Amino acid sequence: MEHILSAPFGARGLSAGMLAGQAMAEACPQTARVGKWSLVRALSEARAAFRLGDRAVTVLSALLSFHPGDEVTGDGQTIVFPSNLELCRRAHGISEPTLRRSLAQLVDAGLIVRRDSPNGKRYARKGEGGAIERAFGFDLKPLAARAEEIAAAARAVAAERRELSALREEVTLLRRTIIKGLELAAAEELSGPWAEIAAGFLPLSRPSNRGLSRTELEELRFELGLLAASVDKSLKSEMNFLNMKGNDSQTERHKQDSNPNPIFDSETFETEAPQTDGTPSGERRASDDLTAVEHLATRSGLRDPDRLHLGTILKACPSILPFARHGIGNWADLLEAAEKIRPALGISPDAWAKAVAAMGESGAAVTLAVILERVDAIRSPGGYLRALTAKAGDGGFTPAPLIFALLRSTAGKAAD
């Protein structure tokens, strides 16, 4: 009964955590026992449930290393009394302030109990036979009393991690299904709501799922599931068309087309306003849109592509940043992000390959970043890219003017 209440030495006051830990230690059954290293592993998993930092678990491991044997039991000597210096050494050289904070966390969590001596020192008093009669230090008995609680918390954390991993896998697979469907639709010139699917997918096509909460992942899975179902339905409705194309190709009864590289429907430019020059309403030439953008770029007075730096591009086109797996720190990262958003914009592999051939990989990636930044104003990203590719092939286009136009537009908005 001597350990029912143990007040701390010095300026430290009693706390609810201290009282709870002491009560746990006093109520611990004598038959309780737990493997000390398995307990450390479980607490490493469940440390958030006990509001412990990783250093606190390291300090607990160091404390347990001073306990003889491999188990903490309810009927044995459970008080360890190492000095702060020895604890710091066994805790991989942490600083003494970190040690004190970690010990306080363990005490407040009710996992260990302070048994302070009259002068605050840690030591043991031995009897005539050399056996320890009384020790002052840290009592580990609450660990034996709470072993099942700690193990259950560790199992819950592991289950939550598995469920989150399964959610991330589902999200990744749904994204892959949508991207591959969009690529097939662009390559095979399929009819259907592909532009709407691409527009809906664009804000959901962030490549990395890290950092998302369970709720965010579940919402993302739901939204992607709707789009994937639309992709599945649209592809199934076009299966006859695909089979007919395959049969024609195999039997050589296909029709010759004067245009060997037809443009997918989403690569045709349209406008929302009627034309006044005799052009049918709803249609617009790519060159008209391109001329308007280049006119804005020309007014900036900055057209030197050699002065185009990656930082300038990212400042002008911040919308591409979420599509980079680990951020954009070099040109390879920018190209990888461009490859991710290409199918989401409804740009066919053929249009992309021609853009790369005409502009180079970096130039094509920058151009795609510009298109993404202006996607709300461009009705057909694929057609716009083809128009820019044609001008680049004639030596009449570099992406620098578009970048500087975006910077000028951003600066103007900030000034307003």
In a domain, 154, yes or no: no
**Residues 166, 42 share a domain:** no
Judge whether residue 301 has pLDDT over 60. Answer: no
Judge whether residue 256 has pLDDT over 50. Answer: no
Going by pLDDT thresholds of 50, 70 and 90, the confidence category of residue 151 is very high
**Residues 385, 335 share a domain:** yes
Going by pLDDT thresholds of 50, 70 and 90, the confidence category of residue 77 is confident
* Residues 220-252: tens digit of each pLDDT: 889 899 989 988 888 888 776 556 555 554 444
What is the model's pLDDT at position 415? 64
DSSP notation for 243-270: HHHHHHHHHT-PPP-S-SSPPPGGGS--
Task: Name the domain count of the chain.
Answer: 3
pTM as predicted: 0.53
Judge whether residue 87 has pLDDT over 70. Answer: yes
In a domain, 4, yes or no: no
Query: Token pair of 85, please?
Result: 């210096």
Q: Which amino acid is at 214?
A: R
**Residues 347, 290 share a domain:** yes
Q: Check which CATH number belongs to the domain holding 119 and give it.
A: 1.10.10
Our CA dihedral for 118, 122, 127, 133, rounded to 10 degrees, sits at 80
What is the model's pLDDT at position 11? 53
User: What is the chain's mean pLDDT, rounded?
Assistant: 76
Q: Are 138 and 83 in contact (CB under 8 A)?
A: no
Judge whether residue 288 has pLDDT over 80. Answer: no
In a domain, 353, yes or no: yes
Domain that holds residue 296: 281-415
CA–CA distance, 397 with 277 (Å, rounded to integer): 26
What is the model's pLDDT at position 126? 74
* Residues 155-185: tens digit of each pLDDT: 999 999 899 999 989 998 998 898 888 888 8
**Residues 176, 108 share a domain:** no
**Residues 311, 385 share a domain:** yes
Question: Which residues are within 8 A (CB) of 50 and not within 5 positions of it... i.e. 6 or more apart?
Answer: 43, 109, 111, 150, 153
**Residues 164, 141 share a domain:** no
Max CA distance (Å), the chain: 113
Using DSSP, state whether 80 is helix, strand or coil: strand
Query: Token pair of 411, please?
Result: 């600066």
Kindly tell me the burial class for residue 369, based on how many C-beta atoms sit within 10 Å of its own C-beta (0-12, 13-18, 19 or more): buried
* Residues 370-403: tens digit of each pLDDT: 998 888 888 788 888 988 999 888 877 888 888 8
Of 7-16, 234-243, 301-310, least confident by mean pLDDT is 301-310
Query: Token pair of 141, please?
Result: 């008995």
Query: Token pair of 303, please?
Result: 């057209």
CA–CA distance, 16 with 21 (Å, rounded to integer): 9
End-of-domain residue from the set 99, 123, 145: 145
Kindly tell me the burial class for residue 271, based on how many C-beta atoms sit within 10 Å of its own C-beta (0-12, 13-18, 19 or more): middle
Going by pLDDT thresholds of 50, 70 and 90, the confidence category of residue 261 is very low
Ranked by mean pLDDT, the top range of 38-47, 296-305, 394-403 is 38-47
Using DSSP, state whether 147 is helix, strand or coil: helix
**Residues 337, 378 share a domain:** yes
Judge whether residue 254 has pLDDT over 90. Answer: no
In a domain, 322, yes or no: yes
User: Which residues on adjacent β-strands are paired with residue 124?
Assistant: 135
